[in-house]
Amino acid sequence: MNQTISKAENYFLNTYNRYPIVLKSGEGVYLYDDAGKKYLDFAAGIGVFALGYQNKIYNEALKTQIDQLIHTSNLFYNKPSADAAEKFARVSGMEKVFFTNSGTEAIEGAIKIARKYYFNKTGSPEGEIIAMMHSFHGRSMGALAVTGQPKYQEAFGPMMPNIKFAQFNNLASVKEQINEKTCAILMETIQGEGGLYPATADFLIGVKKLCEEHDLLLMLDEIQCGMGRAGEMFAYQTYGVIPDVITAAKALGCGIPVGAFAAKGKAADVLEPGDHGTTYGYNPLAGAAVDVVLDIYEQTELLAHVKKVSYYLEDELNELVSDYSCVKERRGKGLMQALELDRPVKDIIAKTQELGLIIITAGSNVLRFLPPLVIEKKQIDEMISILKSSLDFVYNKDRN
Ligand SMILES: Cc1ncc(COP(=O)(O)O)c(C=O)c1O
């Protein structure tokens, strides 16, 4: 067995079933393993590396910051994180931002805003949050409690109380869960891990209206679908809905671990000194990453590129739905796409890897496509060609 794999298997906690590939380097939208094999990357480290590997401007900005100052703590200010916060507020429409170290921590922060909002209003800490079935918000205990997938919670109870679950894209189901204790509604604008389901416009607009009617905070998890993946900087901007609280991570730092929760209006001043903290959050290296990422998005007009190529990707994936009887449906928005098959996709994933393509799953029957946002049409063609060969091989040309 490959030495790195056997070392990792010996010493890593056994929480992952990893693919038997040791990645060593990257260039543009391609990754290379330790034997020099090339892979077209349609996963981007689960929606993280939006800019493509070895982006010179990004790498230089990080190197400069490393040579200047990597860490300060939050007892002091630093310019990169202040610049990053200003830009983040501008592109998101939020007013105040807290930088975290991961997505799950951003969710923890959003939950704390919701709870404190209710506490300030009523003097009681018992505010209820409505989250969605089949959602995914992370693995820390608060984020797990709002994740609507019992399989992740089962062994780790009791879960944080006062969380209710409604059906995603079913407004009546959300309405049913609202009572006098409800303080917030939390959902992914596009559900990712749970199978890749975009919110319908009627649903998201309806939920926003319910929040206004009942004085609830609308909290949108944009950790996977944000940062340009859906064609606007944040997926809610494609619906014209303005939330009170958002969470972001993944492509926010494009590889440097950083997340954010941000708030506006009545949610922006809920947390006060002493309410929340972190040693690493607002770290200048992470700040420099967010700052340069947002600059590159703007300077390269990346959102316009995403819109253009994603129509092409959608068309190509739709063709697979008509050509292959085993491919049931395409779902998604922008460069966050999925194909649902009528059977498990495990063998397809293995075959695509053998042929030099990396795609991931979103449930056992769903192939998920999250390429770097700089992906070009010719690389979409390359992906489709490998995927077709894999489908033909695994399903013996089981075409329509
Ligand atoms: C929608 C969503 N929320 C939260 C998370 C958790 O983020 P992290 O893995 O950075 O803690 C993820 C991770 O996949 C996610 O997709």
How is domain 3-54+301-394 classified at the CATH fold level?
Aspartate Aminotransferase, domain 1 (3.90.1150)
CA–centroid distance, residue 136 to ligand 1 (Å):
7
Burial of 202-224, coded b for 16+ CB within 10 Å and e otherwise, reads ebbebbbebbeeeebbbbbbbbb
Ligand 1 lining (C-beta closer than 6 Å): 46, 102-104, 107, 136-138, 188, 192-193, 221, 223-224, 249
Q: What is the pTM of this model?
A: 0.97
DSSP string, 39-64: EEESSHHHHT-TT-BT-HHHHHHHHH
99 forms beta bridges with 260
SS3 166: strand
CA–centroid distance, residue 392 to ligand 1 (Å):
33
Domain boundaries, the chain: 3-54+301-394, 69-299
CA–centroid distance, residue 336 to ligand 1 (Å):
14
CA–centroid distance, residue 67 to ligand 1 (Å):
30
pLDDT tens for the chain, residues 1 to 400: 799 999 999 999 999 999 999 999 999 999 999 999 999 999 999 999 999 999 999 999 999 999 999 999 999 999 999 999 999 999 999 999 999 999 999 999 999 999 999 999 999 999 999 999 999 999 999 999 999 999 999 999 999 999 999 999 999 999 999 999 999 999 999 999 999 999 999 999 999 999 999 999 999 999 999 999 999 999 999 999 999 999 999 999 999 999 999 999 999 999 999 999 999 999 999 999 999 999 999 999 999 999 999 999 999 999 999 999 999 999 999 999 999 999 999 999 999 999 999 999 999 999 999 999 999 999 999 999 999 999 999 886 555 5
Q: Tell me how far apart the alpha carbons of residues 334 and 354 are, in angstroms, rounded to a whole number.
A: 27
CATH number belonging to the domain at 69-299, selected among 2.30.30.60, 3.40.640.10, 3.40.50.2300, 3.40.190.10: 3.40.640.10
Ligand 1 atom, smallest distance to 193 CA: 16
Would you give the DSSP letter of residue 37? Answer: -
Residue to mutate, 48, 137, 149, ligand 1, most ligand atoms under 8 Å from C-beta: 137
Question: What's the burial of 355, exposed, middle or buried (CB within 10 Å: 0-12/13-18/19+)?
Answer: middle
Q: Tell me how far apart the alpha carbons of residues 219 and 348 are, in angstroms, rounded to a whole number.
A: 36
Q: Tell me how far apart the alpha carbons of residues 39 and 352 are, in angstroms, rounded to a whole number.
A: 9
